[in-house]
Structure 1
């Protein structure tokens, strides 16, 4: 083979190499092209990407100029891919799919020790946060993201949410993805100092001289709650229907604020057993008497279908259920 022949072969091989990556058009233009090709319409592509039709058209023209070929055949009422456009679409789809898969794998590896839990503000602050703190003392590598919302009940359905603690009734379908935890039970509770100053409280009639505090109706109308409210009127109706309960001295739509007021010795609240459990166990709040009120509802742990296959989630769910069983006091 002559030197000339060798030079020709080298030149031919070089001419068939793919373009250098640093000379490729932007990834965004390829993504825009894929959407436009899918719809065969710049208008529909603009609607999906929430940009103007002119912006789509400009990106496609820029892409065609960069690769020096026409991608669409523009007709009066429609668009079709050229042969070059079809070839590019196959490559772009394959490339973006591989990129998406790689990002998902990286994300899963990065978050393999992360558990995301959703619930209401009160449940997150008063019950779930202390529970996750206890778990991390046993499993230090575990990490948690806690998402609290009283206004958006769809948070529990977010893809990233592994677990959600929700409230439901007897029609809730218990199964692999829905685990029953405990019934919703409340008791009159207050701070020991308040009991010492204002007590003793031997029965419902003694509460007539107490400073009663309760949740505002706004709390119960929130999208993530939306249940029949539990108020002092319900408790008195159940245990002492002959007594006309006094008007509450303090009302708020924040249960955490209500608990803080009770801890500060400002009065008596209806204590949701799971929400005041830590304070009661440590003596910061005390039950006045054994007259609970069962709301007829229960709390459940809702599991994301994919998350329940992760060992870390399984282990935490086992811990969660064991802590509920150990508490025991949540049930009547």
Structure 2
């Protein structure tokens, strides 16, 4: 059966033709995704926290969606919100639609297999550990590309959707599992360049160390939001080894650990060397450990896998490489 419009023009009855104009006027996919999260939490505040936006932004998107659909989606109460019948109907449809879209994207990813791996961590970990590791891996797999996201201001970077892996620090109560892989303990030693030790050494006694040219991390480094663990300083190292020092004078202070390492390699003084951050300089002789007196912080570094990281064969291969190199760094005598 056919129909005509007011001017007598035939209207096609093809279902796809009828749906297209309606699809063109649908609200944005982002608005539906925001609605699903707000509906899941029954809270704009919690939805804003999950999406890393303001509550006002969530409220504005929901109001826009309600206006576009010409219906109320939430009943706003004093301490909670409830879905209206229209909201419940929309939530069911949005859930099915987003699941279908996610499945399609997964299948596409399985066929193409991503060759870009995104890794997040602090500035020190990215510059001193992750970047050299990825450089070495690309010699083996030049087809693989990396995106490295370094932040000392926001530890939520590790939860961004595009991030495949994150190198994080945690205590021994961390729940190790398939998506949280323990790498190595956090251990520090005093280290210095051979030229510095030749000019100012030999350092034969722990009592000589407080008078040496010590270099330190500025407290600003430790106060960054992404560094949420107790700081290790020279005071902690001396106290751990039974030496109380009233006041230490530092030759050089910076909040950038990579800058501190560069200064030590240049022979400017002695630093506390995090083993995973200076192991290459120690391995090639640019830095030497002073005394055999490490300090174990009692916490470890972990490789956190975000959901979907194991869906890519390329990412899985790199995870295996990351673990093997971490084990080799922690125990150089291991095969």
Report the TM-score, using the length of structure 1 for normalisation.
0.72
1:123-154: per-residue Cα shift (whole Å, max 9, x none)? 01100111111111112222211111111111
Find the counterpart in structure 2 of residue 325 from structure 1: 327
1:186-238: per-residue Cα shift (whole Å, max 9, x none)? 01111121111111112222213311111111211211112111111111111
- The 1:233–1:55 alpha-carbon spacing in structure 2 relative to 1, beyond 3 Å, is closer
Find the counterpart in structure 2 of residue 211 from structure 1: 213
Find the counterpart in structure 2 of residue 127 from structure 1: 129
Whether contact under 8 Å (1:232, 1:245) holds in the other structure is no
- The 1:138–1:109 alpha-carbon spacing in structure 2 relative to 1, beyond 3 Å, is same
Report the Cα offset of residue 330 of structure 1: 8.4
Give me the CA root mean square deviation.
4.0
Determine helix, strand or coil for the equivalent of 2:175. Answer: coil
Q: 1:115 aligns with which of 111, 114, 117?
A: 117
Q: Distance in 2 between matches of 1:267 and 1:163?
A: 34
What are structure 2's unaligned runs of at least 5 residues? 1-7, 39-43, 45-55, 72-84
Matches within 5 A, 1:1-332: 15-16=12-13, 27=24, 29-31=25-27, 48=58, 50=60, 112-244=114-246, 246-329=248-331
Q: Distance in 1 between matches of 2:97 and 2:170?
A: 45
- The 1:310–1:243 alpha-carbon spacing in structure 2 relative to 1, beyond 3 Å, is same
Report the TM-score, using the length of structure 2 for normalisation.
0.72
- The 1:96–1:320 alpha-carbon spacing in structure 2 relative to 1, beyond 3 Å, is closer
Whether contact under 8 Å (1:184, 1:295) holds in the other structure is yes
Whether contact under 8 Å (2:113, 2:314) holds in the other structure is no
Whether contact under 8 Å (2:190, 2:289) holds in the other structure is yes
Report the Cα offset of residue 308 of structure 1: 2.3
Determine helix, strand or coil for the equivalent of 1:274. Answer: helix
Further displaced range: 109-118 or 155-164: 109-118
Determine helix, strand or coil for the equivalent of 1:133. Answer: helix
Whether contact under 8 Å (1:118, 1:164) holds in the other structure is yes
Q: Distance in 2 between matches of 1:124 and 1:259?
A: 14
Whether contact under 8 Å (2:118, 2:162) holds in the other structure is yes
Q: Distance in 1 between matches of 2:117 and 2:198?
A: 42
Alignment length, in residue pairs? 293
